[in-house]
Amino acid sequence: MNINKNYLELQDSYLFSTIAKKVSEFIKANPNKEVIRLGIGDVTLPLAPVVVEAIKKAADEMGKKETFKGYGPEQGYAFLREAVKKYYSRKSVELESDEIFISDGAKSDLGNILDIFGLDNTVLVPDPVYPVYVDTNIMAGRKIVYADANESNGFLPLPDDSVKADIIYMCSPNNPTGAVYTKEKLKKWVDYALKNNAVILFDAAYECFIKSDELPNSIYEIEGAKECAIEFCSFSKTAGFTGTRCGYTIVPKTLERDGVKLNKLWLRRQTTKFNGVPYIVQKAAEAVFSEVGQKQIKENLQYYNDNAKIIAETMDEKGIWYTGGKHSPYIWLKCPNNMTSWEFFDYLLNNIGVVGTPGAGFGKNGEGYFRLTSFGDREKTIEAMKRFRSLF
Ligand code: PLP
């Protein structure tokens, strides 16, 4: 009997446990100081009222013989796929409903999609990056190469023709950097993928933070993307579903590799290994797309956007370099006075009781940078920035 030895290659993630340990030590030593957490990547506002109503109604349906639902379609109920389809058409992206697969969130599918790809593919991931892309490929034993994201490219790396990659991860608006690809820059990646027969895995989990019509919410706004890209999205940040769990994955039927449609492979994979998202949750997600739902989730998003603005304005005022904060809940700043990420973490915690996330936890290029998030409470965000101003 053997275990999958690739798991032994995974690095232990000390990032959030080290943060928690440092914060609890600080609280113990300073019981009267209020700690403000601007490091969390989770939402804090509750579900929209129309979503809660939909959950209650769906729960009632489940309690009656006439409307009870057992196993649903693995790909998701037609009512939700139609709603997603309609949502995409607002930016002139026309999808067919069987190109849409309802999931229990982006994270699962970002990992699971790898089932349909060969193990000898080379994977390209940006550095710094959301750690799931790297770890899921280490588990499978694939070769990983990195695209450097740094200050000189605005944390938006472009393709390098001398690097041969088969699977390419992209995340825009990005976690952790908050940077957003323009259509022109995204087109370069689409062209690279088409030329190299590669597949782009496009993570659009933060698309709802984009406020400009000029910026792409979906990779399918780029010509040629339906022949080279799979897109992942989620209701987690859009509508506060981090604990409710729902997302969707788009696999266009025009995307073929090795003479096989990837849509067909993914459908086969899902019908074999996945039994669908709960009816109640899909009804909740459907409500997000209703007129009232869109209005209500926009109010919550506005709250986070205003928090981001408060943080970004403080950085502007202090002349601190950063990306994000405009079309993203993340502000990725350069640590002042050449401090390392962890030095800056300690400096903020010990002097003003503010907690963020050290950039070094997201890859080597994250060293010297720091992530703040806008998912916190308004009053606390204001107070944290007041303390920040007094420090610099
Ligand atoms: N993709 C990125 C870039 C994320 O930051 C996150 C969550 O923080 C996810 C995906 C996961 O989303 P979900 O809650 O839908 O699994």
**pLDDT tens digits for the chain (392 residues)?**
999 999 999 988 778 889 999 999 999 999 999 999 999 889 999 999 999 999 999 999 999 999 999 999 999 999 999 999 999 998 899 999 999 999 999 999 999 999 999 999 999 999 999 999 999 999 999 999 999 999 999 999 999 999 999 999 999 999 999 999 999 999 999 999 999 999 999 999 999 999 999 999 999 999 999 999 999 999 999 999 999 999 999 999 999 999 999 999 999 999 999 999 999 999 999 999 999 999 999 999 999 999 999 999 999 999 999 999 999 999 999 999 999 999 999 999 999 999 999 999 999 999 999 999 999 999 999 999 999 999 98
Ligand 1 centroid to residue 111 C-alpha, Å: 11
Ligand 1 within 6 A of 357 CB? Answer: no
Nearest ligand 1 atom, CA 235: 15
Ligand 1 within 6 A of 231 CB? Answer: no
Ligand 1 within 6 A of 217 CB? Answer: no
> Which contacts qualify for 28-37: CB closer than 8 Å, 24 or more apart?
30/353, 33/353, 34/353, 34/383, 35/349, 35/353, 35/354, 35/355, 36/353, 36/354, 36/355, 36/376, 36/380, 36/381, 36/383, 36/384, 36/387, 37/355, 37/376, 37/380
Q: Cα angle vertex 108, ends 177, 259, to 5°?
A: 100
Nearest ligand 1 atom, CA 42: 8
Cα 33 → chain centroid: 33
Sheet holding 199-203, edge to edge: 100-103, 247-250, 229-234, 199-203, 167-171, 122-127, 143-148
Nearest ligand 1 atom, CA 174: 3
Cα 173 → chain centroid: 8
Q: What is the pTM of this model?
A: 0.97
Q: What are φ and ψ of residue 42, in 5° steps?
A: -100, 150
**DSSP3 helix / strand / coil % (the chain, rounded to 5):** 45, 15, 40
Ligand 1 within 6 A of 361 CB? Answer: no
Q: Which domains does the chain have, with CATH numbers?
A: 5-47+292-391 (3.90.1150.10), 49-289 (3.40.640.10)
